[in-house]
């Protein structure tokens, strides 16, 4: 009996069939290896990036979601000084075996962690109007701050601006 069936028989729990792993990459050669032009175009679906957008992806920090060795989503952002970060590209394969929501949430968690570690207090995610990610972003705490004909900007405050804690 294989390990999958054995685990289900003993625990009654079905093991996850598709595990999404995340890689944070900031080296252009590594990004191009994980997201070669064909994969980049596949993930961006009908919105094939121009050469300038392709260069911006390869010159950014990139969070790549992988299902085994296959890229199923990514977000690209530039490291800047100050409290704001913008993920200028955010794409998830709508046919990812792990599902659209788990891939999107894994990328968001990695983005938020990277932004928080850099001292960022506000994160913007730019998404094409045509992608199905909007409800997932909103359920993850993002609100629409700007909606255009082609792009929607989502925003989330990562650090509370509440009053400082009182000392005892």
Phi and psi torsions of 140, nearest 5°: -95, 10
pLDDT tens figures, 22-69:
999 988 899 989 998 888 888 887 677 788 888 888 889 999 999 988
Cα–Cα distances (Å) from 31 to 62, 73, 79, 124, 129, in that order, read 7, 13, 15, 21, 25
pLDDT in tens, 61-85: 999 999 988 999 999 998 777 888 8
The Cα 53–Cα 35 span in angstroms is 13
Which of 40, 65, 62, 61 is closest to 51 using CA atoms?
40
pLDDT for 142 = 96
pLDDT at 22: 95
Instruction: State how far the Cα of 37 lies from the Cα of 102, in Å rounded to an integer.
Output: 24
| Model pLDDT for residues 13-26, shown as the tens digit of each residue | 554 556 889 999 98
Q: What is the arithmetic mean of pLDDT over 124-142?
A: 91
User: Is the pLDDT assigned to residue 157 strictly greater than 70?
Assistant: yes
**End-to-end CA gap in the chain:** 60
E-only strand ranges, the chain: 20-25, 61-67, 70-77, 84-92, 122-128, 143-147, 151-157
- Determine contact, residues 57/26, Cβ cutoff 8 Å: no
Contact between 75 and 115 under an 8 Å Cβ cutoff? The reply is no
pTM above 0.75, yes or no: yes
19-157 in CATH: which number? 3.40.630.30
Taking all residues of the chain, what is their mean pLDDT, rounded to a whole number? 83
Indicate the domain borders of the chain: 19-157
Q: What average pLDDT does this structure show over 131-138?
A: 91
């Amino acid at each position: 009996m294989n390990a999958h069936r054995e685990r289900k028989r003993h625990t009654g729990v079905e093991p996850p069939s598709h595990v999404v792993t995340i890689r944070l990459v900031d080296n252009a050669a590594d990004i191009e290896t994980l997201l070669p032009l064909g994969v980049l175009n596949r993930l961006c679906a009908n919105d094939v990036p121009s050469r300038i957008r392709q260069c911006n992806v390869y010159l950014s920090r990139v969070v790549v979601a992988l299902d085994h060795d296959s890229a199923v989503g990514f977000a690209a952002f530039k490291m800047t000084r100050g409290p704001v970060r913008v993920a200028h590209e955010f794409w998830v394969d709508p046919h990812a075996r792990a599902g659209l929501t788990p891939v999107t949430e894994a990328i968001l968690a990695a983005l938020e962690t990277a932004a928080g570690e850099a001292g960022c207090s506000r994160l913007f995610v730019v998404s094409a109007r045509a992608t199905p990610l909007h409800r997932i972003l909103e359920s993850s705490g993002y609100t629409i701050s700007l909606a255009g004909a082609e792009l929607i900007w989502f925003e989330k405050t990562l650090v509370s601006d509440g009053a400082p804690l009182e000392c005892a």
